[in-house]
A and B are shown apart, each in its own frame.
Chain A
Amino acid sequence: MKFKLVKKPPVSGIKSILTTLLSIFIALLISGIFLAFADVNPISAYKDILIESVGSVYGITETLVKTTPLIFCGLGVAVAFRMQLWNIGAEGQLYMGAFGASLVALHLNTDSHFIMISLMFISAVFFGGLWALIPGALKAIYNVNETIVTLLMNYIAILWVDFLIYGAWKDPKGFNFPISAEFTSAARLNEYFDSRLHSGFFLALLCALLVFIIIEKTVWGYEIKVIGSNPKAAMYAGINIKKNIILVMFISGALSAIAGFSELAGVQHRLQHAISPGYGYTAIIIAWLAKRSAFGVVIVSFLMGMLFVGSDSMQIYYQLPVAMVSVFQGLILFSLIVAEFFKEHKIVMVKE
């Protein structure tokens, strides 16, 4: 008896989703082994994640708070993926968005909520978009590997924010902590349901809808898809690939930058060192899992939001570092690759 892998027609619909869910389940099983190594009972840990994240109204709003930046970054990465652009710099673009928003919030003197928030938003989009435009232009003009450049630029963006909060923007009343001054109430997004859930969440849903319409329903969205799936055909069809690379990278960075804006205006109300516990990196998984669909991004972001809320409680109950989330995510990606493979292959036994 011997085992052999043979190709089969790709599975579709429900079967495909079930395979994906099964792979996530297997990733959780393997993560459980590592949890056990860290002296944590995996079953009770998973139960805690579930209860903390969706077991109460408070939990659900907290999950939605974490879902918000994930939707923005996930959309950003997904838009770039459409064109086979590997923008893995969402984390840095988020930080540059946060920088742009703070630049306005800390220096503009107005009581008008509308003016303040609008300018913060525009500034965030500008700086985050520009940050992604650099690797985009390098890719378009010189064909420089965008994966590595976007990634290296994350480190620079984070150091840039550090530079400001340890230096010029340090709050004189901050007891020497590396934090900026607190934003005025004009620079804060409205909160709802007596919780931390802020209007950024609804903006995220709106952005998802917009991205969906642009990608699926417009000629331009179609062009991007063609470039992504067959660049040669796109060239013959007269689509300007270089221009589109730069434009798509700008939009991609701008979306991630809105995450920085909404985190600061909606939740943190000041610039500080750890704005993001890795939302930008998680966005890569979200875009991949969601198969680049805007609707899928919203769903997967919610699942990842649960993971972040759960990890917060695991940090408190079990003293596990936030990095446990990365372990989950890495393993989920590994098992997804295997799952994708088995959607197109099956094992058969052959007699020798």
Chain B
Amino acid sequence: MISIIIDATIRAGTSILYATLGEIIIERSGIINLGIEGLMLIGALAGFYTTYTTESLILGVFAAVLVAGLAGLIHGILCTYFKGNQIVSGLALTMFGVGITAVLGKSMVGQTIVGFKRIEIPVLSKIPIIGNSLFNQDILVYLSIFLVFLISFFLYKTVWGLNLRTVGENPYAADVSGIDTYKYRLAATFVGSGLAGLGGAYLSLAYTPLWIENMTAGRGWIAVALVIFSSWSCKRALFGAYFFGGISAIQLRFQAMGTTISAHILQMLPYIFTIIVLIIATIKIEKGSSSQPESLGLVYDREDRK
């Protein structure tokens, strides 16, 4: 029983984890991207369509990252060169993503592919209770955990990561010291959006290997909220994502057990808990040291340089 719940928690949390990691990278550069929900859908459809036509899961993953990354670049360009309002541009991206995947994905509804298979890690998967749920997952689960540490390392231990954080904190200072702020922001938006797309593709290639209109069901928004919860740290994002995954897993478990509580009420739980978690995280941030990038959401205009 515990084993099943841990397994379901990880699987339900993985797509959120990718999206949260993606948003952390983007926000670290100073840009808020509210288009995550749309990007996840774009990734989910691009991945599914590619795998459906080429029968290659790897190509599906690449397509998801690339197409979502490019779609995210629209947001990046509008928020840098065109000095657009980041909230409006992000919402536009979500609207566009929801719409275009519904229109172009219509022919994919009801099609089937063979999704990612679980890979059993020898020895470790034989550990009682937790072994099978932790070490018998598909490759995308392992990759997501690896990325948590890789991105953490990148942000805090490399020059590029330091530059990226400087751009998010103080683009004027970054610019003076010769860092190309726009390039960093564009790169961060491309990579982060690609990760959000991969989060979407996890749903359509592994979690439920299907394409369903609007299949992300608000996970993109939960990811945006989890960035605040995790105070822009990748390792805390891991816990946030699995926390959400745990709640959806328990919720589904309840439904499967035939509880008398309405399925609709149970489905509300992830959203309600995300709001509660957001409130707690915000109160903490307001009280003490915040790790929110200083320039988050602000337009950077070189001509205004102080």
Contact = CB atoms under 8 A, between A and B. Distances in A.
B58 interface: no
A43 interface: no
Contacts of A38: 103-104, 106
A345 B82 CA distance: 9
B89 A333 contact: yes
Interface stretch (B59-67, B145-153, B220-228): B220-228
Contacts of A319: 106
Contacts of A148: 221, 224-225, 228, 278
A209 B279 CA distance: 36
A337 B78 contact: yes
A115 interface: no
Interface string B37-59: 01000000000000000000000
A160 B264 contact: yes
Contacts of A333: 88-89, 91-92, 95
Given A144-B282, A152-B222, A338-B78, A323 B103 contact: yes
B102 A147 contact: no
A7 interface: yes
Interface in B77-108: 78, 81-85, 87-89, 91-100, 102-104, 106
Nearest to B274: A152
Interface string A141-159: 0111101110111011001
Contact of B87 (A86, A320, A327, A331): A86
A334 B92 contact: yes
Given A152-B218, A341-B83, A7 B264 contact: no
Contacts of B294: none
Contacts of A227: none
B213 A163 contact: no
Contact of B96 (A7, A149, A152, A334): A334
A5 B303 CA distance: 11
B286 to A, nearest CB: 6
A151 B221 contact: yes
B224 to A, nearest CB: 6
Nearest to A284: B91
A321 B213 contact: yes
Ranked 8 nearest A-B pairs via Cβ: A330-B96, A326-B99, A323-B102, A333-B92, A337-B84, A327-B99, A163-B264, A330-B95
13 contacts: A7-B303, A38-B104, A143-B282, A155-B218, A159-B268, A284-B91, A324-B99, A327-B100, A329-B95, A331-B92, A334-B92, A338-B78, A341-B82
